[in-house]
Structure 1
Amino acid sequence: RNVISTEGALTVRDVNTFSALDSEDDVGFGGKITYKRQPSVEDSSWQILPLAELEFTDRNFSAIERFRAVEFERNWNLLQLQGLSGFLFGNAGARVVQNGTGSAELLAEFLDYADTLSGTRINVLANLKKGGWFLDNIGSALTTEGAINSQFVRNKIHVGKRWNKLTLGYSDEYEDNQRFGSAGDTLISGSYGFYDGKAYIAHGDSSTHQFELFYRERLDRAFNAGSLSGSARAEQVGGVVKFRFSADHRLSLNVSNRKLIILNEEIIDQDPENTLLGRVEHNLRLLRGSVSTNTFYEIGSGLEQQKEFVYIEVQPGQGSYVWNDYNEDGVKDLVEFEVAQFAYEANYIRTFIPSNDYVRTFTNAFNQTLNLNPGAVWSNAEGWKKVLARVSNMTAIRIDRKTTHENSADRFNPFILEVSDTSLLSFGSNFRNTLFINRTNPVFGVNYTFQDSRNKALLTNGFESRTYGFHEVAVRVNLKSAITFQTTARLGERENRSDFLNGRNYLLDEEEATFEAAYQPTPTYRVSLMGGWSDKLNSLELGGERAQSFSAGFTMKVSDIKKGSVEGQFSVVD
Structure 2
Amino acid sequence: MSTPLRILILLLSFMMISLSSMSQSNLRWKKVYVQNDTIQLDSLTIFQNSLRVFCGESLLTQNDYYFNGNTRSFYLKYPCGDTLQFRYRVFDIDFQKPVQRIDTTIIYKNDGNITDFYYRDEDDRFDFFGEDEIKKSGSISRGISFGNAQDLSVNSSLNLQLSGKIADNVNILATVTDNNLPIQPDGNTSQLQEFDQVFIQLYGEEYKVIVGDYWLKKPKGYFLNYNKRAQGIFGQYVMGKESEKWMIQGGGALSKGKFSRNTIQGVEGNQGPYKLRGKENEPYIIVLSGTENVYLDGKLMQRGQEFDYVIDYNTAELTFTPRHIITKDIRIVVEFQYSDQNYARSVFVANTEYQGEKLDFWLNIFSEQDAKNQSLQQKLSSKEKLFLSKLGDSIQYALSNSIDSIGFMDNQVTYKMVDSLGIDSILVYSVNPDSAYYRASFMNVGTGKGNYIFDRYTAVGKVYKWVAPIGGQPQGDFEPSRLIITPKRNTMISSGIEYRFNDKWKARTEISTSYRDQNTFSKIHKDDNRGYSNKTYIEGIHKLGKDSLTTWKFKTVVDFEYTSKYFQEVERYRSIEFDRDWNVRGKNYTGDQYVSLLSFQFLNIKYGSIELQAQNFAFGKDYLGNKGRLLGEWNQKGLHASVDASYLDSKSDLQNSYVRHKSDINQTIGPIKIGFEDDHERNVFKENTLLRLDSYQWYDWKVYFGSSDSLINQFQLFYSERYDWRSDSTRLEEAAIARTIGANFDWLSSQNSILKTMVSYRKLDIKTPTLINQQPENTFLGRVDYSLNLWKKALNFTLFYEIGSGLELRKEFLYIEVAAGQGVYTWIDYNNDGIKDLNEFEIAQYPDQAKYVRVFTPSDEYVRTYSNELNQSLFWRPERIWSNKQGILRFLARISDQVRFRVYKKVSDANWEMYNPISRSIADTSLLSLNSSIKNTFFFNRTSPIAGGDYTYSQTNSKYMIASGFDGKSQEYHSVSLRWNLVKVLTIKTSGELGEKRAIVDYTVGRNYSINYHNIKPEIIYQPNTIFRISLEGRYEEKRNQASFGGERAFLSDIGVSIKWNQLDKGSLNGEFKFINIVYNGSQNNSVSYELLESLKSGKNFTWGIGYQRNIVKNLQVNIQYNGRKSENNRVIHTGGVEVRAFF
TM superposition score category, shorter chain reference: 0.5 to 0.7
Q: Is the Cα–Cα contact under 8 Å of residues 155 and 173 in structure 1 kept in the other structure?
A: no
In the alignment, is the contact (CA less than 8 A) between 2:164 and 2:173 conserved in 1?
no
Quick check: 553-562 or 511-520, which moved more? 553-562
2-side partners of 1:33 and 1:373: how far apart? 38
1:156 corresponding residue in structure 2: 290
Q: Which of 306, 317, 327 is 2:810 aligned to?
A: 306
Using the TM superposition, give the Cα deviation of residue 152 of structure 1 relative to its aligned residue in structure 2, in angstroms.
Answer: 8.2
Q: Give the SS at the match of 1:386.
A: helix
Equivalent residue for 1:71?
183
2:1032 maps to a residue whose letter is L
Equivalent position to 1:487, from 987, 990, 1001: 990
2:232 is the alignment partner of 1:107: no
Alignment partners' CA distance in 2, 1:209 and 1:506: 53
| Displacement of 1:123 | 5.8
SS at match of 1:406: coil
| Partners of 2:928 and 2:143 in 1: CA distance | 48
- Inter-partner Cα distance in structure 2 for 1:563 and 1:396: 39
Equivalent in the alignment of 2:1040? 537
Shifted more, 512-521 versus 417-426: the winner is 417-426
Cα distance change on mapping 1:510 and 1:140 into 2, 3 Å: farther
One-letter amino acid matched to 2:1068: S
Q: How does 1:311-322 map to 2 (within 5 A)?
A: 311-322=815-826
CA distance in 2, matches of 1:364, 1:105: 45
Distance 1:173 1:444, change over 3 A: farther
Deviations 1:283-322 (A, max 9, x none): 1122333432211101223334211332222211322322
Q: Give deviations 1:159-202, integer Å, cap 9, x for gaps.
A: 9xxxxxxxx9977982334465433885989999x99x99xxxx
Report what 1:324 is aligned to. 828
Match in the other structure for 1:561: 1064
SS at match of 1:335: helix
User: Of 428, 431, 439, which aligns to 2:942?
Assistant: 439
Name the CA distance, whole Å, in 1 between partners of 2:1048 and 2:778: 52
1:240-262 Cα offsets, whole Å, 9 max, x none, are 8653343322223356899xxxx
Name the CA distance, whole Å, in 1 between partners of 2:844 and 2:760.
45
Match status 1:497 vs 2:996: no
Decide whether aligned partners of structure 1 residues 26 and 545 sit closer, same or farther in structure 2, where only a CA change above 3 A counts: closer
Aligned counterpart for 1:467 among listed residues 970, 975, 992: 970
> Could you say if the C-alpha distance between residues 437 and 124 of structure 1 is closer, same or farther in structure 2, counting changes exceeding 3 Å?
farther
Could you tell me how far 1:153 is from its partner in structure 2? 8.1
* 1:96–1:464 Cα change, 3 Å: same
CA contact (8 A) 2:975 2:993 kept: yes
Paired residue for 1:174, among 336, 348, 363? Answer: 336
Residue 881 of structure 2 is aligned to residue 377 of structure 1? yes
Selected match of 2:203 from 96, 109, 114:
96
Give 1:401 shift: 1.3
Aligned-partner residue type, residue 571 of structure 1: K
Equivalent-residue separation in structure 2 for 1:440 and 1:108 (angstroms) = 48
CA displacement, residues 408-464 of structure 1 (integer Å, 9 cap, x when unaligned):
x54334347469955431123333222222222221112111222233332222132
From the superposition, tell whether residues 442 and 275 of structure 1 become closer, same or farther in structure 2 (CA, over 3 Å).
same
Measure the CA separation in 1 of the matches of 2:849 and 2:1029.
31
Q: Relative to structure 1, is the Cα distance of residues 151 and 374 closer, same or farther in structure 2, using a 3 angstrom cutoff? A: closer
1:360 is aligned to 2:465 = no
Match of 1:515 in 2: 1018
For residues 216-271 of structure 1, the C-alpha deviation after alignment (integer angstroms, 9 at most, x for no partner) is: xxxxxxxxxxxxxxxxxxxxxx998653343322223356899xxxxxxxxxx999
From the superposition, tell whether residues 270 and 453 of structure 1 become closer, same or farther in structure 2 (CA, over 3 Å): farther
Q: Secondary structure at the match of 2:889?
A: helix
Quickly say closer, same or farther: Cα 1:316–1:270, change in 2 above 3 A: farther
Report sequence identity in percent.
Answer: 32
The root-mean-square deviation of aligned C-alpha atoms, in Å, is: 5.3
Please list the CA deviations of residues 358-386 of structure 1 after superposition, one character each: whole Å capped at 9, or x if unmatched: 22332201122223334433334444333
Over 3 Å counting, the alpha-carbon distance change for 1:40 and 1:242 in structure 2 is farther
1:568–1:417 distance in 2 versus 1, CA, 3 Å: same
Matching of residue 527 in structure 1 with residue 1030 in structure 2 = yes
Q: Is residue 158–residue 169 contact of structure 1 (8 Å, CA) maintained in 2?
A: no
From the superposition, tell whether residues 464 and 49 of structure 1 become closer, same or farther in structure 2 (CA, over 3 Å): closer
Partner residue in 1 for 2:527: none
SS of residue matched to 2:256: strand
2:834 aligns to what SS in structure 1?
coil
Aligned position for 2:165: 40
Which structure's CA Rg is the greater one?
2
User: d(CA) in 2 for partners of 1:173 and 1:377?
Assistant: 54
* DSSP-derived class of the 1:288 partner: coil
Quote how far apart the aligned CAs of 1:474 are. 0.5
1:296 paired to 2:403 = no
Q: How far apart, CA to CA, are the structure 1 residues paired with 2:893 and 2:774?
A: 58
Distance 2:916 2:861 in 1: 27
Structure scoring higher RCO (CA < 8 A, sep ≥ 6) equals 2
Paired letter, 1:122: Q
- Secondary structure of the 2:839 match is helix
Q: Secondary structure at the match of 2:1006?
A: helix
- Distance in 1, matches of 2:843 and 2:960, equals 19
Q: Tell me by how many angstroms 1:15 deviates.
A: 5.9
Give me the whole-angstrom Cα distance separating, in 1, the residues matched to 2:935 and 2:921.
Answer: 20
Instruction: Kindly indicate whether the alpha-carbon contact (under 8 Å) linking 1:323 and 1:332 is maintained by their aligned counterparts in 2.
Output: yes
Equivalent residue runs for 1:148-227 within 5 Å: 154=288, 156=290, 174-178=336-340, 180=342, 181-183=378-380
> How many Å apart are 1:508 and its aligned residue?
0.9
Which residue identity lines up with residue 386 of structure 1 in the other structure?
R
Q: 1:143, 1:151 within 8 Å by CA — same for their partners in 2?
A: no
Q: Which amino acid aligns with 2:336?
A: Y
Q: Tell me the secondary structure at the aligned position of residue 792 of structure 2.
A: helix
Runs of at least 5 residues in structure 2 that lack an aligned partner in the other structure? 1-130, 187-197, 215-228, 236-252, 259-281, 294-299, 304-333, 343-377, 386-394, 400-442, 445-481, 486-570, 577-707, 717-741, 763-772, 1078-1144
Deviates most, 426-435 or 171-180: 171-180
In the other structure, the counterpart of 2:256 is: 142
Partners of 1:481 and 1:300 lie apart in 2 by 56
Aligned equivalents of 2:945 and 2:139: distance in 1? 47
Amino acid at match of 2:379: S
State whether residues 876 and 898 of structure 2, in contact with CA within 8 Å, keep that contact through their aligned partners in structure 1. Answer: yes
What secondary structure does 1:317 align onto?
A: coil
Q: Give 3-state SS (helix, strand or coil) of 2:845's partner.
A: coil
1:61 equivalent in structure 2: none
Whole-angstrom CA distance in 1 between matches of 2:743 and 2:210:
34
User: Which whole-Å CA distance do the structure 1 matches of 2:746 and 2:185 have between them?
Assistant: 38
Which residue in the other structure is 2:849 paired with?
345
**Equivalents in 1 of 2:997, 2:926: separation in Å?**
25
Please say if residues 143 and 152 of structure 1, whose CA atoms lie closer than 8 Å, have aligned partners that are also in contact.
no
Structure 1 residues 532, 519: closer, same or farther in 2, change over 3 A?
A: same
Q: 1:489 to 1:173 in 2, by over 3 A?
A: farther
For the residue of structure 2 that corresponds to 1:387, the secondary structure is: helix
- Return 292-301 or 454-463, whichever deviates more: 454-463
Mapped contact 1:516–1:528 kept (Cα < 8 A): yes
Q: Match for 1:174: what amino acid? A: F
* Distance (Å, rounded) in 1 between the aligned partners of 2:177 and 2:788: 52
d(CA) in 2 for partners of 1:338 and 1:388? 46
Deviations 1:459-512 (A, max 9, x none): 222132222111111101012332221110111111111112331111111011
Q: Quick one: structure 1 residues 142 and 533, their matched pair in 2 at CA, closer, same or farther if it must change by over 3 Å?
A: same
Residue 15 and residue 392 in structure 1: after superposition, are their counterparts in 2 closer, same or farther (change >3 A)?
A: closer
Contact 2:905 2:919 in 1 (8 A): no
Q: So what's the TM-score if we normalise by structure 2?
A: 0.35
> Which whole-Å CA distance do the structure 2 matches of 1:394 and 1:502 have between them?
39
**1:255 & 1:380 partners in 2: Cα distance?**
45
